[in-house]
Amino acid sequence: MKLSTEEVIERVSILDIPQALKDALVAGLTGQEMTEAQLQEIMDQVVSDYGHSRVEPCEAVGVVAAQSIGEPGTQMTMRTFHYAGVAEINVTLGLPRLIEIVDARKIPSTPTMTLRLAEGYAHDRDLAREVAWAIESTSLLHLGSLATDLAEMNVIIELNSDAMTQRKITAEEVAERLREETGLSVDQRSNTLVMAPEESSYRELLQLVEKIKKISLKGIEGIKRVVIRKEGDEYILYTEGSSLRKVMQFDGVDPTRTKTNNINEIGEVLGIEAARNAIINEATDTLREQGLTVDVRHIMLVADIMTVDGEVKQIGRHGVSGEKASVLARAAFEVTVNHILDAAVRGDVDDLKGVTENVIVGQPIQLGTGDVKLIAKR
Amino acid sequence: MTKFAVMDHESVPKHTLLSPEESEVVLRTYGIESPQLPKIHVTDPAAKEIGAKVGDVIKIIRRSPTAKQSVFYRLVID
């Protein structure tokens, strides 16, 4: 007999195997000449082989994952900085980045976002540039020059009208923003702004200059730079600094494809499952960039354990390792004395269920064959 | 400035709320109690979007690089 795709799908769908395997089976069986008995045998064989390929119960998957990520980690560069491609955005890569990911740092050392643009913006260079200017934090130095007049004890700001039209801001708006931020009066004469500090001292004047240099007049605060790059036939924005929640509201940005390398921020804005995906993607990309291939299952295990409690927690003293039930296992990791001391004060009991504590006391560990107890019937 | 659905984001998998009966089936299949499930906060953007309450079980259909699709369950906590 010959089975159509629909019939094969129907037969295969009830099997207890992953979707990827089902799809492969459907592709392989469709249109093949076979008897009912042969079809049944093929399916039985696939199910049985899949069962054999799975991890055995009591296998130490955590240790295997740790070694499989740790060994290539020894070959990674210690060099922190790297320029991502031709765009002059600085991103941390290599071992420091991997450590940053598993430590679940609140803010990465070089936060950056990758923004895809919405339909209608993505293929137009001028529109892409407009979005970039709207997002980029604009300071006074982008718009003109600053000078201090020591005789008059004031700051003179000369605004460049070309720069202002480009960034779509007027001299009035600049004056207004400066008034808001400093609380001082701003004397505006067309493109020249004059400000004076409250007290006319030399120190106050210099402090005022420093302060107004830092004021973000337009765009998202913290987005220091936006670089446009063409990938394929699409313009993509790379930013220095990250603010996912704000950037997703900008016109022209496709909110469903925005990315950041700040995993905690993803957890807050998009949820724990997105954070888990981010950990997997960031770790895989970091390793791949160094020319190392680690099976994604090891990284998935790490991401799963980091996000199992509903929030991103680090692998380490303040996270996964620090939450182990056993006192001896925690003491074997870091800050030994504190853990043993606290346990003694509280009168903790160690159940000796884990690996580390059983190694310490010299007993067989409860993993693999060590987990099997023999029960004899007399 | 349109409000955008978190679930539309490409890195957020599909979350569905299970009825008490359905969650009972899940727990029985795995032979566990609900506190043994992985957790999700009730404040989680994806959990909020489907209107989950503390104690509910959320079914998550992940896109897996190895199995193509994998099902995961999380218990909603505060």
In order of A31, A53, A318, the CA distances from A28 in angstroms are: 8, 20, 49
Structure tokens at A348: 């903790």
pLDDT at residue A82 is higher than 80: no
Of the candidates B4, B15, B74, which has its C-beta nearest A248's C-beta? B4
Which chain A residue's Cα is nearest to B37?
A308
Written as one string, the DSSP assignment of A274-303 is HHHHHHHHHHHHHHHHTT----HHHHHHHH
Q: Give yes or no for A257 touching B (CB within 8 A).
A: yes
pLDDT at residue B1 is higher than 50: no
Q: Give yes or no for B64 touching A (CB within 8 A).
A: yes
Mean pLDDT of A14-35: 87
For chain A positions 165-194, those within 8 Å of chain B (CB to CB) are none
For residue A20, which residues of chain B lie inside 8 Å, CB to CB? 64, 66-69
Of residues A79 and A201, the one with the higher pLDDT is A201
Contact by Cβ (8 Å): A101, A283:
yes
Give the model's pLDDT for residue A202.
83
Give the model's pLDDT for residue A81.
59
Average pLDDT of every residue of chain A: 87
Percent residues over pLDDT 70 in chain A:
97
For chain A positions 18-77, those within 8 Å of chain B (CB to CB) are 18-21, 23
Give the model's pLDDT for residue B2.
52
For residue B47, which residues of chain A lie inside 8 Å, CB to CB? 271
Contact yes or no for A248 and B68 at CB 8 A: no
pLDDT at residue A79 is higher than 70: no
Per-domain boundaries in chain B = 10-77
Contact yes or no for A310 and B77 at CB 8 A: yes
pLDDT at residue A324 is higher than 60: yes
Written as one letter, the residue type at A248 is M
Average the pLDDT over each of A13-22, A169-178, A280-289 and give the range with the smallest value: A169-178
pLDDT at residue A179 is higher than 80: yes
Contact yes or no for A272 and B68 at CB 8 A: no
Give the model's pLDDT for residue A252.
87
Of residues A234 and B1, the one with the higher pLDDT is A234
Three-state secondary structure call for residue A258: coil
Of residues A173 and B43, the one with the higher pLDDT is B43
Separation CA B5–CA A200 (nearest Å): 53
Q: Give yes or no for B40 touching A (CB within 8 A).
A: yes
Closest Cα in chain A, distance from residue B21 (Å): 22
Output the 3-class SS for A224-248. Answer: CEEEEEEECCEEEEEEECCCHHHHC
| Maximum distance among all Cα pairs of chain B, rounded to whole angstroms | 46
Q: Which of A272, A273, A307 to mutate to test the interface with B (most CBs of B within 10 A)?
A: A273
Residue ranges and CATH numbers for the domains of chain A are 5-53 (no CATH), 140-214 (3.30.1360), 324-371 (1.10.150.390)
Mean pLDDT of B41-52: 92
Q: Are strands B39-41 and B68-77 parallel, antiparallel or unpaired?
A: parallel
| Maximum distance among all Cα pairs of chain A, rounded to whole angstroms | 106
Which of A5-9, A75-79, A215-219, A301-305 ranks highest by mean pLDDT? A301-305
Closest Cα in chain A, distance from residue B27 (Å): 17
Which chain A residue's Cα is nearest to B69?
A19
Contact yes or no for B47 and A249 at CB 8 A: no
Give the model's pLDDT for residue A84.
54
Q: Give yes or no for B78 touching A (CB within 8 A).
A: no
Closest Cα in chain B, distance from residue A78 (Å): 29
Written as one string, the DSSP assignment of B34-52 is GGGS-EEETT-HHHHHTT-
For residue A273, which residues of chain B lie inside 8 Å, CB to CB? 12-13, 15, 46, 60, 62
Q: Give yes or no for B67 touching A (CB within 8 A).
A: yes
Mean pLDDT of B19-23: 94
pLDDT at residue A61 is higher than 70: yes
Name residues whose C-beta falls within 8 Å of residue A182's C-beta, 6 or more positions apart in sequence.
A195, A208, A211, A212, A215
Give the model's pLDDT for residue A369.
83
Give the model's pLDDT for residue A44.
93
> Could you identify the residue written with the tokens 């995906």?
A277
Three-state secondary structure call for residue A116: strand
Mean pLDDT of A359-365: 91
Separation CA A368–CA A375 (nearest Å): 17
Closest Cα in chain B, distance from residue A271 (Å): 5
Structure tokens at A193: 């702004």
Mean pLDDT of A91-105: 89
Contact yes or no for A19 and B62 at CB 8 A: no
Q: Give yes or no for B37 touching A (CB within 8 A).
A: no
Percent residues over pLDDT 90 in chain A:
31
Superfamily of domain B10-77: RPB5-like RNA polymerase subunit (3.90.940.20)
Which chain B residue's Cα is nearest to A17?
B67
Per-residue pLDDT tens for A281-293?
999 999 998 889 9
Closest Cα in chain A, distance from residue B68 (Å): 5
Contact by Cβ (8 Å): A296, A284:
yes
Name residues whose C-beta falls within 8 Å of residue A301's C-beta, 6 or more positions apart in sequence.
A61, A62, A65
Mean pLDDT of A93-121: 90
Contact by Cβ (8 Å): A217, A206:
no
Contact yes or no for A256 and B4 at CB 8 A: yes
Give the model's pLDDT for residue A47.
94
Q: Give yes or no for A80 touching B (CB within 8 A).
A: no
Separation CA A164–CA A143 (nearest Å): 6
Mean pLDDT of A236-245: 89
For residue A23, which residues of chain B lie inside 8 Å, CB to CB? 68
For residue B67, which residues of chain A lie inside 8 Å, CB to CB? 18-21
Mean pLDDT of A43-49: 93
Confidence of residue B61 (pLDDT cuts 50, 70, 90): very high
Of the candidates A255, A278, A310, which has its C-beta nearest B44's C-beta? A310
